[in-house]
Chain A
Amino acid sequence: MSQRTGISNVFDERLGDSTAFTAVAAVGALSLLATFVLFVVESDLASVALVVFVAAAAYGWLFHQAETAWGLSVLTTLVGIVVLGLILVFLFLEAEKAFETAGLSLLLRSAVPVWSPSQGIYGLQVAIHGTIVTTVIATLIAGPLGVAGALFISEIAPERVGELVKPAIEMLAGIPSIVYGFIGFAILNRYLFYELQLNTQGSLFLAGGVIGLMALPTVVSVAEDAITSVPESMKSGSLALGATDWQTMKGITLPAAFSGVSAAIILGIGRAVGETMAATVILGNVAGEFPNPIFDVFASTATLTSLIASQYGDAAETQLSALFVAGVVLFVIVMFLSLVSQLIERRMRRQLEGDS
């Protein structure tokens, strides 16, 4: 660990090292900043600044490689933060216009029609309701089945079988969402339409089920990590007292991994909230009226994601802006879930470290 030094230390060292590098670093940093600013203000000169940056980086790489590598790694680290910041800023900027026209009725309007761009009415409650219904159905599927799958891989299956099942579940995650959606659209939609004599092709029920299947692999792999990280000593203690494997899992392993397992389910919920294409293809994407009655899961309304994907194309200015509001709502929900799951995971890590 001794050779790993903090930022400030490294920086002091480099500054002391050579003034020539300081100059190059200053030119590089300034030109990159200029590239960014010029790009944001939509100037063609951005490319000029970029060329200056590339030249400075190349010069630095040739003559001060160690220092330049450090500097570039700092810059690349900032990219993630900058991108997240840009997403935040631009979503809110574009959403502003709709907020000016419609105000809080975007989120609060529940009078019918809730969403009718041709009349200039923009309310998102039907889509929010659709997102909630599909997410609840998806979580009911992905949560228990995902945790059971994780238990199977990490605790029950012989190693050889586990090594077969794990990649298979990753493959399940790899199948593109549009393919799931297509099967839902072409096969399952029609099947339910005829078998249940529905009024519409497509239903929140089916969309939720397909999304649940898609969120399943996320829950399995994250929960499996959590269960595997429970120290062996805790389990052997229970087994030594004469408990069966299953009693140990229920009484020791799952409670110890509880935080990690709930983080897995929260991440699964996040995936389900943001899932777009399957919902878009399966649902009818009408956001004007609530299902009647409200708990009719066989209605074919819209989710926030499917509303965006299906309507951005022919959307006029305010409508597009209202779709950005839907994006903001999604972003806020998912960021919240992500933060909560990270907090939980951090707590679990600390607990397990404290215990062992």
Chain B
Amino acid sequence: MSNASERGVHRDHSPLLPTVSAGVVGLSFLTFVLAWLVLFPILTPSTQLVGGVTFYDVFGLAMLLCGVALVGSGVASRTGYVPATPSATAGVTTGVVLGVLGFVVTGLFVSQTLGIDGPMGLGWFLAAFVGGAAVFVATVAPREDVGSTVPIGAFALLAGLVVLLGVIGDSWTWNPSGLAATFSGDMAVPVVALVVSLLTAWAGAKAYEGFGARGRQLGAYMFVNLNAALMLFVLFVLIAFIVYRGLPGVLRGAAVGLGTGPEVAFGLHLPFDVPFVTNSYGLRNDVNGVLPAVFGTIWLVVGAVVLAVPTGVGAAVFLTEYSREGRFTQVVEIATNGLWSTPSIVYGLFGLAFLVPRFGNSASLLAGQLVLGFMLLPLVVITTRESIKAVPDSYRDASAALGVNQWQTIRSVVLPAALPGTVTGIILGVGRIAGETAPILLVTSSSMSPFPASRFVPRVLSGFQFTAQPPFVTNTELLQASSALPYQLYALITAGVGAGAGSDADIDPWSTALVLLIVVLTFYAVGIASRSYFRRRLQE
């Protein structure tokens, strides 16, 4: 009893363990960030900082400090010097993670440094296995406060020493037999620092809460939160990078002001001009642009929507309103899910085999519209079905009670109520197919140059012609090949235009990527915004 009260008092006055472990977590986090900066060479690792200290030394020192602090807190907690609530063991999960690490490190040391290897001479494997098993036992056998800190701390210490002493450093290279890659110190040190910093942060987080269930929760939450933050970061970096590289090309020659833009109708001009979007490719252009690709994408999307939306909504209505759950709906469901997961390149092959020979044996806009429509169909069916199912049965009952027949109920009660969800689903689906490259590569754009001239802008509306013989209506524009934004980007890449188009006459792939990204993400932003708007209204 006296021991417990002593501990309670102790905790109030000397928060030694939380302070030290918070320091370890913070230092690990800094190491983590710094390692990424060095890895994607924003910082050069061998830069001389103050007094001849390089980033190598910084990494080594940080790992050393974390290691010492962790071993110290583990020992302090075990001897009862600082209060903690550890479980009996660090657990099998921790043991397996560290055991695998021990296996890898021992294996690399024995096979690469000592030169005992040969895939068939199992020497290194046995040593690695013994090393891994030893680490596993060292982690699982002692009480949690020792098991979850000392092995990690020792590893951090070891790594810190190796880097500080320059064993792995500036001039170090490693060419593992069997891999085509050569690892240099520039690469290896930050990678080691990444792994070590994640481990020390994990152990530090556990120690911060005094181990036990709460400690393990903090350790796990740290990883889960870091993972979520990294996903957001990746999204941000991707978009920011493409804007940074593409925006100058998109804005080349752009102007804002009354009458500067291209004519829309009746002598009215748009109040802005972005030649990269409104021009085609031509020798006499000041700025060459991607207009044919923009129009190609627009018409592809329009065609796909015209085909898929009525079909998909009709199917969803039948599945939810007319038919009972049974064998037939099950078959339809399996087919719909199957279509949803069919790879886009397979749709392309299908279009090549089925549609292209029937539309004059050449790539055509119409074939692309149909194929993209088929790809959009399952998305429309699934989302429409969900939103029709979400319409409460009381709506239908109320309508039926008024003597309205089933079709009238569907048309004037069910479908309007399901409209928001349906529209959202369609918008998100359109965003997806607008960026699809593989199918149109095969059925619509195969012959197009990466620099299409203005005659390749599809003019679908004026293309209809009526004839006296079957098929009576023809549209040469629909039966012609067309470019599209994703294809244009692909063509620029394969044409080897490279990542840094210099002169104004070139079409910059980064700018093309930016225009494509703007188109696609606009669909997504509108779709997501409308969904959350309608959901909020539903909750009110």
Contact = CB atoms under 8 A, between A and B. Distances in A.
Interface in A309-338: 309, 312-313, 323-324, 327, 330-331, 334-335, 337-338
A185 interface: yes
A174 B520 contact: yes
B390 interface: no
Contact of B489 (A84, A171, A172, A179): A179
A176 B486 contact: yes
Interface stretch (A21-29, A100-108, A293-301, A348-356): A293-301
B416 interface: no
B407 interface: yes
Contact of A80 (B186, B241, B335, B441): B335
B133 to A, nearest CB: 24
Contact of B517 (A87, A152, A169, A175): A175
Interface in B321-352: 321-324, 326, 328, 331-350, 352
Given A91-B346, A148-B227, A186-B499, A66 B338 contact: no
A309 B407 contact: no
Given A182-B493, A246-B217, A309 B345 contact: yes
B521 interface: yes
Interface string B429-443: 001101111100110
A87 B342 contact: yes
B406 interface: yes
Contacts of B352: 312
B89 interface: no
Given A94-B353, A168-B235, A174 B432 contact: yes
Given A4-B321, A179-B489, A323 B349 contact: yes
A328 B234 CA distance: 34
Contacts of A128: none
Contacts of A153: 228
A213 B233 CA distance: 13
Interface stretch (A38-46, A113-121, A132-140, A226-234): A38-46
B441 A309 contact: yes
A285 to B, nearest CB: 11
Given A44-B471, A168-B232, A274 B341 contact: yes
A184 to B, nearest CB: 10
B248 interface: no
A276 interface: yes
Given A76-B310, A170-B428, A178-B490, A151 B346 contact: no
Nearest to A308: B345
B378 A80 contact: yes
21 contacts: A4-B324, A5-B322, A7-B323, A70-B318, A73-B317, A83-B377, A94-B353, A152-B227, A169-B231, A172-B235, A176-B434, A216-B231, A244-B214, A276-B343, A276-B344, A296-B178, A309-B442, A324-B349, A334-B342, A338-B338, A342-B334
Query: Closest 5 interchain pairs by CB?
Result: A274-B343, A176-B435, A76-B314, A47-B471, A66-B407
Interface of A: 1-7, 10, 39, 42, 44-48, 51, 65-66, 69-70, 72-77, 79-81, 83-84, 86-87, 90-91, 93-94, 145, 148-149, 151-153, 156-157, 163, 165, 167-179, 181-183, 185-187, 191-192, 195-200, 203, 213, 216, 243-247, 267, 270-271, 273-277, 281, 291, 293, 295-299, 305, 308-309, 312-313, 323-324, 327, 330-331, 334-335, 337-339, 342
